[in-house]
């Protein structure tokens, strides 16, 4: 009987020096490659369109800047008939209307976002979110008609009340009107930056609310539960955990809404009475914004006037671009709760 040698089942030994790690490729293939290239194409096209708009407006602004120089930014009057053109008054009006809108929209957006994220029943949140988003889908002309026909008379009464009790503050003063008269002049309190700001605030509030609500929803549940376990009330937990966590979202959402308020057009055109004068009396009749100026004068403008209007649009474009860029940076940096435990 022949005894065969035992078969060696051990794995063959290799020289460690000859083992090389396999090269890994991060190059996308298949559907991933299609998605990656498509996303790059869409992103690049947005940058190209934005850059094209900036170049077009900048090129059209050259004749105006050559003719009027820096006086274009310091002159209040817009009178093409006398060759006196400037955007100092309309820039002031743009900032005034936007400021009034944000003073009204900010607390509404913040409280609405907190209610939806922290107080509303779970089964009602989807409905509330849909209603707030629906406000953003309403055309601006509807808000303009709503503000001009329905809100303006009540806003005029509120403006009269504010001047009567806070008229010692310059911003609430209405020149040429006595609020204590037997029959106050109601026409001095309508078609103002205050009335336009109310309508614009309803247009920008949903945008700010959506950003704030999204950031609030990313608050780590563990930190909220820890605050409640230590005996904090619901509001104590919100003030100690939710609001500090969502500070970036609050700022970013507010700035995004400000960018929208600066460029609002139709609602302002339907409400305000055009007045080319630098004034900070928000309750007083008369103001003008850059977008409303362009909408009102673009149709019958001559070649020189068209260049001036495009220059005003270029200035507004730069302002809104800076505001929205800063807002996007702040919002992106605030999304630290994306990886929080569910």
Stretch 241-268: mean pLDDT, rounded? 88
CA–CA distance, 133 with 137 (Å, rounded to integer): 7
Residues 6+ positions from 62 with CB-CB distance below 8 Å? none
pLDDT of residue 106: 94
- Residues 251 and 330: their CA atoms lie apart, in Å, by 7
With a cut of 70, say whether residue 6 has pLDDT above it. Answer: no
Whether the full predicted model's pTM is greater than 0.85, yes or no, is: no
Rounded distance between C-alpha atoms, residue 88 and residue 72, angstroms: 8
Backbone angles phi, psi at 145, to 5 degrees: -65, -40
pLDDT at residue 112 greater than cutoff 90: yes
Cβ atoms of 316 and 291 closer than 8 Å:
yes
> Looking at residue 116, what is its pLDDT?
93
Contact criterion met (CB below 8 Å) for 147 and 156: no
Percent of the chain with pLDDT over 90: 22
Q: Torsion angle, CA of 211/213/217/223, rounded to 10 degrees?
A: 100
Contact 309/301 with Cβ under 8 angstroms?
yes
What is the CATH code for 88-334?
Answer: 1.10.3720.10
pLDDT of residue 4 exceeding 80:
no
- Indicate the pLDDT class of residue 17, thresholds 50, 70 and 90: low
C-alpha–C-alpha distance, residues 232 and 229, integer Å: 7
pLDDT band at 340 (very low <50, low <70, confident <90, very high): very low
Work out the number of other CB atoms within 10 angstroms of the CB of residue 236: 13
- CB distance 218 to 289 below 8 Å: no
Q: 192 - beta bridge partners?
A: 285
Work out the pLDDT band at 5, boundaries 50, 70, 90: low
Phi and psi, residue 16, nearest 5°: -55, -30
Domain extents in the chain = 88-334
Mean of the pLDDT values across residues 129-144?
Answer: 90
pLDDT at position 313 over 70: yes
Q: Are 117 and 188 in contact (CB under 8 A)?
A: no
SS3 label, residue 149? helix
What are the residues whose beta carbons fall under 8 Å from the beta carbon of 199, sequence distance 6 or more? Answer: 143, 144, 146, 147, 148, 151, 267, 268, 271
User: Would you state the pLDDT for residue 231?
Assistant: 87
Summarize the confidence of residues 249-264 as an average pLDDT. 88
Distance CA 185, CA 160 (A): 9
- pLDDT one-digit tens code per residue, 62-77: 888 888 888 889 888 8
Name the residue with higher pLDDT: 341 or 177. Answer: 177
Cβ–Cβ < 8 Å for 136, 129: no
Quick one: DSSP state of residue 77?
-
Q: At residue 57, what are phi and psi to the nearest 5 degrees?
A: -65, -40
Could you give the percent of the chain with pLDDT greater than 70?
89
- What single-letter DSSP state applies at residue 192? B
- pLDDT at residue 8 in the model: 53
Residue 303 scores a pLDDT above 90: no
Is the pLDDT confidence value at 36 over 60? Answer: yes
Name the phi and psi angles at 79, rounded to 5. -135, 85
Which has the closest alpha carbon to 293: 279, 281, 305?
Answer: 305
What's the gap between Cα 18 and its chain centre?
Answer: 60
DSSP state of 19: -
| SS3 of residue 84 by DSSP | strand
User: In this structure, how many other beta carbons lie within 10 angstroms of the beta carbon of residue 147?
Assistant: 24
Q: Is 304's pLDDT higher than 60? A: yes
* pLDDT-based confidence at residue 342 (cuts at 50, 70, 90): very low
pLDDT class of 338 with cuts at 50, 70, 90: very low
With a cut of 50, say whether residue 339 has pLDDT above it. no
Per the prediction, the chain carries an average pLDDT of 85
User: Residue 90 pLDDT > 70, yes or no?
Assistant: yes
Q: What is the pLDDT of residue 326?
A: 83
Contacts of 141 (CB under 8 A, 6+ apart): 266, 267, 270
Summarize the confidence of residues 83-110 as an average pLDDT: 92
Which residues is 85 bridged to in the sheet? 78
């Amino acid at each position: 009987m022949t005894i065969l040698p035992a078969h060696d089942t051990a794995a063959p030994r290799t020289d460690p020096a000859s083992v090389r790690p396999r090269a890994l490729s991060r190059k996308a293939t298949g559907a991933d490659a299609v998605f990656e290239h498509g996303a790059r194409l869409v992103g690049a096209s947005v940058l190209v369109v934005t850059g094209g708009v900036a170049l077009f407006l900048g090129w059209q602004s050259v004749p105006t800047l050559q003719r009027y120089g820096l006086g274009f930014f310091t002159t209040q009057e817009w009178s093409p008939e006398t060759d006196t053109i400037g955007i100092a008054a309309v820039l002031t009006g743009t900032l005034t209307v936007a400021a009034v809108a944000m003073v009204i929209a900010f607390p509404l957006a913040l409280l609405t976002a907190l209610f939806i994220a922290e107080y509303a029943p779970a089964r009602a949140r989807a409905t509330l979110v849909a209603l707030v988003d629906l406000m953003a889908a309403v055309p601006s002309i509807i808000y303009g008609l709503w503000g001009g026909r329905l809100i303006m008379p009540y806003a005029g009464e509120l403006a009269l009340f504010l001047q009567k009790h806070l008229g010692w503050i310059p911003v609430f003063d209405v020149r040429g009107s006595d609020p204590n008269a037997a029959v106050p002049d109601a026409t001095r309190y309508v078609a103002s930056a205050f009335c336009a700001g109310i309508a614009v605030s309803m247009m920008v509030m949903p945008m700010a609310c959506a950003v704030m609500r999204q950031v609030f929803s990313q608050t780590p549940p563990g930190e909220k539960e820890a605050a409640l376990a230590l005996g904090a009330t619901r509001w104590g937990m919100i003030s100690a955990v939710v609001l500090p966590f969502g500070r970036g979202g609050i700022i970013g959402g507010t700035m995004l809404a400000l960018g929208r308020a600066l460029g609002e057009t139709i609602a302002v055109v339907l409400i305000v009475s055009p007045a080319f004068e630098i004034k900070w009396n928000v309750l007083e009749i008369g103001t003008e914004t850059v977008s409303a100026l362009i909408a009102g004068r673009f149709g019958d403008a001559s070649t020189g006037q068209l260049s001036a209007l495009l220059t005003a649009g270029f200035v507004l474009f730069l302002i809104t671009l800076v505001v929205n860029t800063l807002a996007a940076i702040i919002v992106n940096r605030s999304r630290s709760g994306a990886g929080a435990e569910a």
